[in-house]
Copies of this chain bind each other. A is one copy, B any other.
Amino acid sequence: MTATTREQFLAAAEHLFAEKGFYGASIATIARELGLTKQALLHHFGNKEKLYGEVLRSLSERLAANNSEIRENSPDPAEQLEEMLLAQFRGQMAHQDSARLIMRELLDNEQRADRAGNWYLKDYLEELVSTVQSVNRKFSRAQALAVVYQLLGAAHYFAVSQPTLDNIFGKRQMADTRQCFEAQLRQLIRAALA
């Protein structure tokens, strides 16, 4: 169960990239987190871009694994969709680093389309879209995508904004909001599909 150096590098990199973004995090800082030099990091990953790509790849693998688990556990498409969206929300609240990283990638990848893992969201989104369509046949593909993205946004945006909201509204108020957010989100999902 002891993590390899490589895995430790990936974990540290995920954290720092999520916090400061690609440009804001330096490979030297990431390496220092493990008490190693940046050349040790370069030895394992070649260069900074490749490291970033690997972080993204490992993240997308975790995402995919989560989803296929849900798909197996519930046969009803409506229930499936609800569970997928809520599980994604819970996952992002629990692992804010990943949530922030995904958001950053959404903002940045326009510029560097050559990065590995660029389209890893595609399968994930396609899956949700077709689930929406099988729940409510009235939806066109475009409509279904719009709905999926609205629901995804409703969840992800909140997960990512947590620290900022804590500052704006205070931890007390935000604890309340966090508590009722999931129930409210569930309602929103059902309403969107009706």
Which residues of A pack against B, CB within 8 Å?
19-24, 100, 103-111, 113, 118-119, 121-122, 125, 140-143, 145-147, 149-158, 160-161, 163-165, 167-169, 173, 176-177, 179-181, 184-185, 187-188, 191-192, 194
State the CA gap A121–B164 with chains docked (Å): 10
Choose from B110, B113, B161, B188 the contact partner of A191 (Cβ within 8 Å): B188
Contact B20 A177 (CB under 8 A): no
Q: For residue A61, give the distance in angstroms from its CB to the closest CB of chain B.
A: 18
State the CA gap A158–B121 with chains docked (Å): 14
- List the number of copies, as a whole number: 2
Known: A140-B176, A153-B153, A154-B154. 10 other contacts (CB 8 A): A21-B21, A104-B107, A142-B173, A145-B169, A146-B181, A150-B155, A150-B184, A153-B157, A154-B157, A157-B157
State the CA gap A99–B111 with chains docked (Å): 17
Contact B24 A167 (CB under 8 A): no
Residues of B within 8 A of A157 (CB): 149-150, 152-154, 156-157
Contact B104 A143 (CB under 8 A): no
Residues of B within 8 A of A176 (CB): 140-142
Contact A180 B146 (CB under 8 A): yes
Residues of B within 8 A of A113 (CB): 167
